[in-house]
Amino acid sequence: MARLLQQDKIQPHWWRKSIIALLLGLTFSYGVVATFAWFGPGGIDAPVKVQFNMWLISFIWLPILAFSFLFRTAKTALICMLGANSVIYLLFFIFWWFK
């Protein structure tokens, strides 16, 4: 078996990736849930939507936390998570503006 070169290995920045996924993954989850809560079926006043939205956060956040370790470096994880957060909150505010 051939050994991987150092640049081909996933770098051991696991604690930085964990912090990035915990913080920015949570804000991304909040953005997705907020967009769904306000602009999804029934709007914000739907009776069963509160409980559903509360549990939806974990189903979005935990895969982000798990897949964050597939980034090669913490810098790449940070750039991707900041980009994803920017997109979801931009989408939320665009929907809010045209509401």
pTM of the model: 0.85
Domain ranges for the chain: 26-97
- pLDDT for residue 1: 58
From residue 68, alpha-carbon distances to 19, 27, 38, 51 in Å are 10, 14, 28, 27
pLDDT, tens digit, for every residue of 13-36? 789 999 999 999 999 999 999 999
Instruction: With a cut of 90, say whether residue 9 has pLDDT above it.
Output: no
30, 57 in Cβ contact below 8 A? Answer: yes
List alpha helices for 5-99, DSSP H.
14-39, 49-67, 74-97
Angle of the 14-39 helix axis to the 74-97 helix axis, nearest 10: 10
